[in-house]
Amino acid sequence: MNYFSSNFKLGILGGGQLGKMLLYDTRKFDIYTCILEANNDAPCKMACNEFHLGDLMNYDAVYNFGKQVDVLTIEIENVNVDALEDLEKKGVKVYPASKTLRTIQNKATQKLFYIDHDLPTASFSRFAFTSEITEALDHESLSFPFVWKRAQFGYDGTGVKIVRSMTDLENLPNVECITETLVPFKNELAVIVARNASGETKTYPVVEMEFHPEANQVEYVICPARISDEVSKKATDIALKTSQAFNHVGLLAVEMFQTQDDQILINEVAPRPHNSGHHTIESSYTSQFEQHIRAILNLPLGRTESKVGGVMVNLVGAEGYSGDVVYEHIEAIMKMDGVTPHIYGKKQTRPFRKMGHVTIVNKDLREARKIAEQVKNTIKVISE
């Protein structure tokens, strides 16, 4: 099929920053794109060919949108899977497949999938409601500390909490959830696997993620991860095995824990471009966004090696500020060597909202990490 400068239409469900960064590459290739998104001010609006307003969880909105495109992909998992299933029956190519999304959307079914496919993950319990956890604690089938995760619709630090005492349970929503053993890990790692419909598969180098202690959001992504070759191989092999189990087309970001004794446990996966791959725009031969386009259109995959060491810093709204966004001291960071800011185009900031990211590239990874710290301490996302 001719995708380039043709009447082929690529549909993307979701109009956020991941979609916007995908559009950098569809524009580069002159691929016609249609976006479905509920927010009229979404970052994607400025860069797509067609912008459709609609609720991604609404069957009719997703189904009617999907009928108008040739290939449909996502930039967010919270979409109506029944509509995707029916679109597949009608011959629309949907990547990731509805079956994959159905499994991943619910953290309990995602964990059961790992168990069924002999993929290593932290032990867990599932509950129909958070209130049932108290009973499990009384019967000593569960003990502190553990990680509470909302089964559905959690993202970026919302819907996840470390529970060390009864007090920590008090303000949690009474919803379907899982509890996981708190893993005393050395590192949080991630590997992005790209796979096209012909089965060609490539992996990006293992990255290491440093988290914000309160917000449970990634502060720094460091590539390559500062780990041994042996641990790196183990993480890559598990990511590949996970991708094969899902029979996945597109990108699959596999987030993992490296335990104190160098075991690798899967934390969770995302079947789309991912925060842990943002650095690839500057540091890799092929960015994760271009690779996702190549994979879902069954084009040859690009090179995944890094050209240079990269560190990514998330730009999130500063605490105490809500309203029209201002990027304070952005000029100061742009003076620094190898620093590239990416501003997502969200007009309103609020505490911990993802507003952009900054990539720092340097042949010396230690130097890149040092500059990343300077960037983090200099730029502030505030409001007028």
Annotated binding-site residue? 182: yes
Judge contact between 10 and 26, C-beta under 8 A: yes
Cα separation of 165 and 169, whole Å? Answer: 7
**Strand partners of residue 284:** 306
Strand segments (E) across 213-276? 218-223, 250-259, 264-270
- Vertex 145 angle, CA 177 and 110, to 5°: 30
Strand, helix or coil at 337? coil
Annotated binding-site residue? 241: no
Cα separation of 222 and 35, whole Å? Answer: 31
Annotated binding-site residue? 183: yes
Annotated binding-site residue? 99: no
**Strand partners of residue 211:** 218
Cα separation of 281 and 279, whole Å? Answer: 5
Q: Is the peptide bond before 145 cis (omega within 30 degrees of 0)?
A: yes
Helices and strands (H, E) in the chain, number of each type: 12, 21
Q: Is the peptide bond before 300 cis (omega within 30 degrees of 0)?
A: no
Pick from 154, 9, 158, 120: which is nearest to 72 by CA?
Answer: 9
Cα separation of 301 and 115, whole Å? Answer: 30
Judge contact between 222 and 210, C-beta under 8 A: yes
Cα separation of 96 and 284, whole Å? Answer: 23
Which two three-digit tokens encode residue 308? 């240079």
Annotated binding-site residue? 135: no
Task: Determine the angle formed by the axes of helices 98-105 and 107-116, rounding to 10 degrees.
Answer: 110
Strand, helix or coil at 131? coil
Binding site feature residues for ATP: 107, 149, 180-183, 188, 267-268
Binding site feature residues: 107, 149, 180-183, 188, 267-268
